[in-house]
Structure 1
Amino acid sequence: MADLSRVKLANGIELDVWDSGPKDAPALIFLHGFPENHRTWRHQIEHLNSRFRCIAPDQRGYGNSSRPEGVEHYEPMVVAQDIGLLAQALELGSYTIIGHDWGGAIAWLVAAFGQASGHVTRAVIANAPHPVLFAELLLKDREQRAASQYMRTFRDPAHDPLVREHGLGALLLKAISWDRKIANDPAEQALQMEEWADQTRAFAMLNWYRASGLYVPSMDEPFGLPASYAAPPFPKLKIPTLVIWGMEDEALLPANVDGLTDWVENLTVERIADAGHFIPWESPDAVNAALDGFLAQIFLADGTST
């Protein structure tokens, strides 16, 4: 397991961070999703940290990082601010943001609002939908709405006694019934099970869903965009962006890749066949190859040696 350093942010939040690679190399910040930790990206970091400074925090609520009480402390923009403050604390001039699942959702925000200052110069998103496109799919796409009903279960406080008594793992078993069964490395799975068993961690993780303003309709509600619908304001992404998608994802369906060119000017999409949702460790070689091609292309364009 990696050695973690404790980083205190200007907002008082403390994050445990895996910080490896040359300190003067181009920086990559890796954001994990639910219900994992910084180890989501272990294969990519071990592949890249001879050439790049690789920074992977346990985000707030995860691992031993700060777990403030109250759903309001887990709103997406609040969590996204942690990443900007982490970059400041580590004195990064600029960096590439890389995220998967909920970490990808935060990466979309960090990239969209960090590109103007020049601090975020490129983005990589792995199986995490664009916030505007996903909101629309939930309204009009029957298959994606059905696949997302687990979010309603995670938000429902009626299941809190189950979590208190048996941990997050019990709720995961209740809410998710994917056909694709891919086992994580036993040591990684044991670490996750330990973290899921802790009540304060479990509810902090669930608060990411409960704090989000994303509306997930029930299957009984009408399908289609309401006549009064207007896309929420969201900056168009102008920095080079790589989207990697495991095409067998049962939670976030491949339709999420459609329409991205309306929101991303400089887009590369890598569709990975026979890969599911947890693509960083399900298909590490394919993800590493996609990252190698993207980062080499961008850094060569910048005139920076890799």
Structure 2
Amino acid sequence: MKSEYISVPVSYGKISMQVAGPESQKAILFIHGWPDSHDTWSHQMEHFSKKYRVGAIDLPGVGNSDAPPQRKGYHIDNILPVIAAAIRALKSPEVHLVAHDWGAIISWVFASRPEYARLITSYTAVSGPHPALARENLFAKFKSLNPGKIIEGVQQAAKSWYIYLFQMPQVPDFIFNNFGRLVWPRALMQGGVPPEDPMLEASQDDISRNVVNPLNLYRELLQGEWIEMPTRIDTRLQVIIPNHDLAITPEIYSNVTDVAPQAQLHYVDANHWVQRSHPVLVNELIEKFIR
């Protein structure tokens, strides 16, 4: 795959985006999650660049993308304009948004707000729910007084233990800055990244750049202003839901069709990084959906 990296101007500097493929009517923008970078989409970039214009950004503070000067720059509201800038930089009339993990969480909000949703033709969420829908889903389970639902809520809360750890100042930053090569590859493999995956070969410097700044995503999620509940999402969307996700229970998506009745939900036998472990399956689902 022949590709290049371009700088996309944003309000506080620039973000880096890998672009490839011919100029075309259709383009695909890929958004990565935590704790990785645009490299997480290498299988998809290779596949889709054969006929579409494709782009994969590094989120703010990751890789060669500038970090916001203040922590509030990592609040979802302040990242939506970054995604909009990347979409415009692809210069295609039809842009399909595909996002994983934290990229998916952010992109759900992008797809649910009309002023941003008009910029995309479709949205594919991979291993990541809408933050407000997930919050409402979790709270409803605990308020239901139904033992089965409460157990589901406890299971999801247990899977999310690291979110609370990341609220601590400096401690997780110190761990990843000094012991990233010990912690990071093991976390990815537990989430389904194959042991032979080249993604696991990242250096300590790469891990620090990709992991530490975006810890503020988690801090802003709980400590920043909460994201509103959508009443209706009209964007054409599909959700790829791993049944064995290390971080997210499949049940957390159960209220998606309440606000997006047109959504296509695909439950697959995979772990969190399904785009790395099952690239052919993910590529087929994206191809069929955007076609």
- Regarding TM over 0.5, the answer is yes
Tell me how far 1:134 sits from its aligned partner.
Answer: 1.2
Distance 1:178 1:148, change over 3 A: farther
1:147 and 2:159 are equivalent in the alignment: yes
Superposition map of 1:129-148 within 5 A = 129-139=129-139, 140=142, 141-148=153-160
User: How far did 1:51 drift?
Assistant: 2.1
Q: Which residue of 1 aligns with 2:174?
A: 162
**1:73 corresponds to which residue?**
73
Q: Name the % identity.
A: 23
Matched, 1:289 2:269: no
Q: Mapping of 1:157-306 within 5 angstroms? A: 157=169, 159-160=171-172, 162-163=174-175, 166-168=178-180, 182-191=193-202, 193-198=204-209, 202-213=211-222, 232-273=228-269, 275-296=270-291
Q: 1:193 to 1:281 in 2, by over 3 A?
A: farther
Q: Which amino acid aligns with 1:196?
A: I
More off after superposition, 11-20 vs 179-188: 179-188
Q: By how many angstroms is 1:184 displaced? A: 4.9
The amino acid across from 2:276 in the alignment is: W
* Aligned match of 2:107: 107
* 195 and 153 in structure 1: CA distance in 2 versus 1, 3 angstrom threshold: same
CA distance in 2, matches of 1:23, 1:186: 30
Mapped contact 1:104–1:125 kept (Cα < 8 A)? yes
1:22 paired residue number: 22
8 A Cα contact 1:111 1:237, kept in partner: yes
Q: Cα deviations across residues 253-276 of structure 1 (Å, max 9, x unaligned)?
A: 111221211121321111111x10
Q: Does the CA-based 8 Å contact 2:110-2:116 persist in structure 1? A: no
Q: In 2 relative to 1, CA 122–161 (structure 1 residues): closer, same or farther, beyond 3 Å?
A: closer
Post-superposition Cα deviations, 1:53-77, rounded to whole Å, max 9, x if no partner, equal 1111111111111123431111111
- Whether 2:32 is the aligned partner of 1:38: answer no
| Structure 2 counterpart of 1:153, one-letter code | L
- The gaps in structure 2 that reach 5 residues or longer are 143-152
Checking the alignment, whether the CA contact within 8 Å between 1:238 and 1:264 is kept in structure 2 is: yes
Residues 75 and 25 of structure 1: CA distance in aligned 2, closer, same or farther (over 3 Å):
same
Task: Give, in whole Å, the separation in 2 of the partners of 1:103 and 1:124.
Answer: 11
Partner-residue secondary structure (3-state), 1:244: strand
Normalized per residue, the structure richer in helix is: 2
Q: CA RMSD in A?
A: 2.8
Evaluate the alpha carbon distance shift between residue 169 and residue 109 of structure 1 in structure 2; reply closer, same or farther with a 3 A threshold: farther
In structure 2, what is the equivalent of residue 122 of structure 1? 122
Q: Distance in 2 between matches of 1:87 and 1:116?
A: 10
2:28 is paired with a residue whose SS is strand
Q: Deviations over 1:153-201 (max 9, x none)?
A: 1121261573376154566699x69966643545321226441245xx5
TM-score norm. by structure 2 comes to 0.84
Provide the C-alpha distance between the structure 1 equivalents of 2:54 and 2:96, rounded to a whole number of angstroms.
10
Contact 2:27–2:90 (CA under 8 A) maintained in structure 1: no
Paired residues of 2:191 and 2:272 also in contact (CA < 8 A): no
Report the Cα distance in structure 1 between the residues aligned to 2:117 and 2:252, rounded to whole angstroms: 28
Output the CA distance in 2 between the equivalents of 1:196 and 1:28.
26
Check conservation: 1:167, 1:196, Cα contact below 8 A: no
- 1:45–1:145 distance in 2 versus 1, CA, 3 Å: same
